[in-house]
Structure 1
């Protein structure tokens, strides 16, 4: 089948479909509008119906729950009144039993005290005669109060009024409540019960029991109170006499009042409760709510599922962003992102701390960054232009540059850049990582200076060694020259005097040999004298050089062994990385400091470590470990020696080489001078120590030397 040509599509098919397609957009728009209106009307009706049903259910549930709460409160108040009446009746029976069988005062006191201990609502029990005078009394051990006896026995007291009612009624009577002050400045509401004592129908006395209204609430009502209820005694006019219960909780208050009618007195028990709006629907409406919930879940299942997917995606994205943010904030490496126009779009806290500028000051900068040094702005602009144009690919190992902090200080940085690719695979900018290498540069400079110092020290030590060797080798020839010159002078002096005497005695006699002239003799004497003088001078020069070399003992100081190792470890580590040697050190704890020349001992350690690493530089040796240890000797406490060991896993030392190992100028390497180990032994011996070596098991060599322990200064008594 051939594909249609452009002419076919524009003339044949296009003409056939042009007429029917013209009115379709308008009908489609109208249909869409009608469909949208129908959907929205249905949704609106559904939402309105659901809202009205929910509002009705909530209102009905609230009314139902209010009625339930009020009914329960009325029931609780009625139960509390019944409990109080039963308890008061039981107390009244106990008071009547107190006077059974006509007890004596001692038995009455014992019974009253026992009754007060068992009933905390009782405060005081009095035994009065017919004239209302107090014969005996007992007070509660839980709340002792100071009572005014004259006021209690007066005819106008509440107890007297209650006893008058009891005499008239021939039955127990209660007084109205009254306020009884305490000794601490407070007080409480009290109520008296008067019980007449009769014998043969005749009143023989009274028993007056005093109740605390608050203790009645606390002991008789409180055990049945909930945390949202409050109980109180009030008077008929609403005055509160005693209150017990929790503070107000909730938004709505319910109240119930019940009358506590007692002979001679009347109290009102009021119970309040606070309750919030209904939090759960009652069981009566559970079926309707469940059915409506199922309908809503069915209608909105698709929306809920879509919403869950969206929320899950947002949560995953938020977790990823939080994880990335935590990683970026924890980095010590500075990060910076730029778009294709060179504008800074992101910086992390490490970069801001590195340059001293805040993120607000850096974001959006494009032409000139504030952390560029002014003298390097043109160079950095040119480099940035080349980078953004794509004409230069940054090296993977990074490149060094110089930045400027906000305070104007310059510092070197290592920059590593990579293209910034978005989720669609498009190149949107550049991501750069920055490392502040100023500390690294400082350490390298210190290492270089230390290496130069150690090299200079090594050269000085070599010169000293050579001076010592020269002084040893040249002293004997010079001494012989001096002896020969002195002998020549001694031989010339007698011959000269004899020749002169003979010349004077035989002045006229002929001689066969010509005697040396006085001028010649004087010249020979002068020459021989100069030989002796110059030989003596050479000996003095060599001795002064030798003394200068031995004068190094004066530079000794007290140092910890760890400090000596720390000084050479940077140089040792550089060569160890080059030779792939693993360096391990160990300093025994509690070591005293050593007394040594810091520079010379550091050179000894450095020479031994280098020799050990070079001994392992062999293709057949795969395990290359340099072990440096500092240990105590047998007497290495406050006085004695500290032992240093340098161990390698090299090929070891042959017996013929070991015999000449410390010989000056003897070496097994073509580039060596043969003075290193000789110098090391000289330095250690100048400190009074010993330098030696032994074979290491299973392979390698162990060099050992000792240094004296620094003697602590004597303390004044």
Structure 2
């Protein structure tokens, strides 16, 4: 029997194929539109972000320009307070010119505008060598007229000053009026270079990717800063309002417009990746949902069982009617009843019989449906009774019990047996009373020891100054009154220092936080330097100061830290008195910025060093190697430094070709977190 072939299926009509392809075509078109919008939005976002960066740079540079000009005017006003004598004024002006490269020249003029004195910057060639100053003074005179009329600083319009090398520089003049006893006495004129002023207003990072220019209203460039040339794509302009002058700041970025190809490729890859990820999630979600739910349920049951077996805190669950629905093994062990004896009972058997009415009323209030959750979470203490009849205190913390539908079905309680804690608290209270009595006696001894040691240094200084004053009175001369006045001032200063020591030691014994202040390390060194040099002069010791400029600033209790420096310096001087030759007796006080948050102090001597057996006990209270010492100095020094959060240690300084070996005591103090504000 032969098989009869089936007839072939009729081909689909063109209209049916079009209807089938239409949804897919719409989907493809929708994807193309979405990808195009994504690319356009990405390009527009990147362009706006770059433009915002340029605007931010222009705003920051304009603000810095205004700040720098205001600072220069304030410093020029401070120069008015200098001595009128020519040498002093010349020195102050030279220091100001050296500190600021944008200041090129400073002139002092009388009330009629005639130049009395002038100082040019040593960092730049003199300005008015090719064309005299009188030939370029029109804009300066107009600014000075405005300054004298308003009695406020004023800036002139910019003008070009040619130089001998064929180049030139665009400058402005700052005119500051000088008043004496309320009357105009003259003017102070400072010439400011616009290029240097603009360089000081931007950071190195900004100068690498931006070109900054100062331009006039017609677009004429006055000065520029920045390493590259701007492309003119992302440009921001901002006016800079100065006293008597307005400049236009122009910032031109080196960035180009966002390119299409990289963004298009990124958008396509991102879109396809998101689509593929979505498909995978849809396929995997239905397959893994049931297995994940079963696994989580088994893990939750195992975790609950493990928690029940390991908890030492009793747990109980009560319904709204007050009947127990759940207790854990720890709760059963706490009250002595089994779970079968507790579940479903009311009132529970662990309530003391005489307190059941009171507990029932309290439970009614706590199980009230209108009670807030916050009040229910507050713990309360009560009394339970074990099956053996023993009473014990417990602390109970409750939280609402809510079912899967969000309905409040009861309360979950955590019960903690606090009987052992109450016994420990009573024992601790008794011990604390005994410790307080002993601490008061120890405080008296500590206060006496601290005062005797800390007051020894200022009282010794007062005695030295008083002895010197008596010697001056026995042999008076023309300089005696001034020297006596200086000695009396030193005595008063040391007396005040002794008062601060008493107050600081009192606070130290009470262990209160000291009144810390921010102070430069240079001032700390200068405060103890007269006393250190007085001690060093007796033994022929030279004092070397190694402090960077500007000196770091620290936050500390000034009086206590000065005592630490003075004590370490005196120890170093005394260590070199016998064993060190006279030429090698050098005591070095050094300050370094160890880390951004810490400043390190070093006191270095060239004495015989510290023996190993002495080094182990060096910071032990009442241990000393000198007959007249009390053994409290280094111990108190370490305590003071540790109260500031720092550390005190010591080490051996190796010998060099010019200096012998010695000992270095180092300690650290917290650096000031806020930078010093300069006018």
TM-score by length of 2: 0.37
Structure with the greater alpha carbon radius of gyration: 1
